[in-house]
């Protein structure tokens, strides 16, 4: 079957492209470098994906869906807010720690081409409104204090994403550039963020 070979190469290319694009960005990445990383000829890149732009788009879509957490599970379950939050925070930090440079990469490329973003969001199934609704309900139930639910969601995302996105800076400033010490800090932070948020919003 020829498809086996085809799929294999295509995957290899996409995987290599992810590595290189995340490392160098769209402009910094070289087609030759991606080819080398994939262990194939450069012309083959153009055979599967016509141009650098198209390869980048395919890569970006795949990466973008990665940083979109399974927010929905947080909405659907009928666990108390504490449990939902804990699940979401731990889960998301784990995902990001596997790709610490993903957030910055996404933000940078988004800012370079904001129009491309619209289609992505629609096709990604991202529905932040659902989460906002959930928070609204909690406020009406009286479990958390009154506030703009969008603020709450954005604050939670901030507390999770930023410390990972700024890893090199924080690592140097606070952790003596020691990866282990930084990683431990982030691991502990799962609980810290949960506490920080709950202390702030819960009506005791």
Partner DNA sequence: CCTACTTTTGACCAATTGGTTAAACTGTTT
Partner DNA sequence: AAACAGTTTAACCAATTGGTCAAAAGTAGG
Partner from DNA, a second copy, none contacting 78, C-beta within 5 to 8 A by type: none
Q: Which stretch binds a second copy (CB under 8 A): 34-42, 48-56, 71-79, 152-160?
A: 152-160
Looking at beta carbons only, is 5 or 141 nearer to DNA? Answer: 5
Looking at beta carbons only, is 40 or 68 nearer to a second copy? Answer: 68
The answer to whether 21 touches 105, Cβ cutoff 8 Å, is: yes
Extract the tokens encoding 97: 């720690």
* Nearest alpha-carbon partner for 125 in 79, 69, 78, 81: 69
Looking at beta carbons only, is 40 or 157 nearer to a second copy? Answer: 157
Place of tokens 């294999």: 8
The answer to whether 110 touches 117, Cβ cutoff 8 Å, is: yes
d(CA 41, CA 12): 12
Rounded to a whole number of angstroms, the minimum distance from the CB of residue 25 to DNA is 11
Beta bridge partners of 144: 202
Residue ranges in contact with a second copy by CB under 8 A: 24-28, 101, 104-105, 107-108, 110-112, 114, 117-118, 121, 126, 128, 132, 145, 147-148, 150-151, 154-155, 157-159, 161-163, 165-170, 172-174, 185, 188-189, 192-193, 195-197, 199-201
């Amino acid at each position: 079957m020829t498809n086996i070979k085809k799929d294999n190469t295509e995957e290899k290319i996409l995987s290599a492209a992810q590595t290189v694009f995340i490392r160098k960005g769209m402009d910094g990445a070289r087609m030759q470098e991606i080819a080398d990383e994939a262990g194939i000829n450069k012309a083959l890149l153009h055979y599967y994906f016509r141009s650098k732009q198209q390869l980048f788009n395919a890569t970006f879509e795949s990466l973008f869906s990665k940083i979109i957490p399974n927010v929905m599970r947080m909405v659907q379950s009928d666990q108390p807010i504490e449990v939902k939050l804990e699940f979401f925070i731990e889960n998301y930090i784990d995902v990001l720690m596997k790709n610490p440079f993903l957030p910055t990469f996404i933000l940078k490329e988004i800012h370079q081409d904001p129009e491309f973003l619209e289609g992505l969001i629609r096709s990604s199934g991202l529905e932040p409104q659902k989460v906002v609704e959930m928070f609204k309900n909690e406020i009406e139930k009286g479990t958390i204090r009154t506030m703009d639910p969008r603020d709450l969601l954005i604050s939670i995302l901030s507390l999770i994403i930023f410390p990972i996105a700024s890893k090199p800076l924080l690592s140097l400033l606070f952790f003596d550039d020691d990866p282990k010490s930084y990683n431990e800090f982030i691991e502990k932070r799962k609980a810290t963020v949960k506490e920080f948020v709950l202390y702030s919003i819960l009506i005791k």
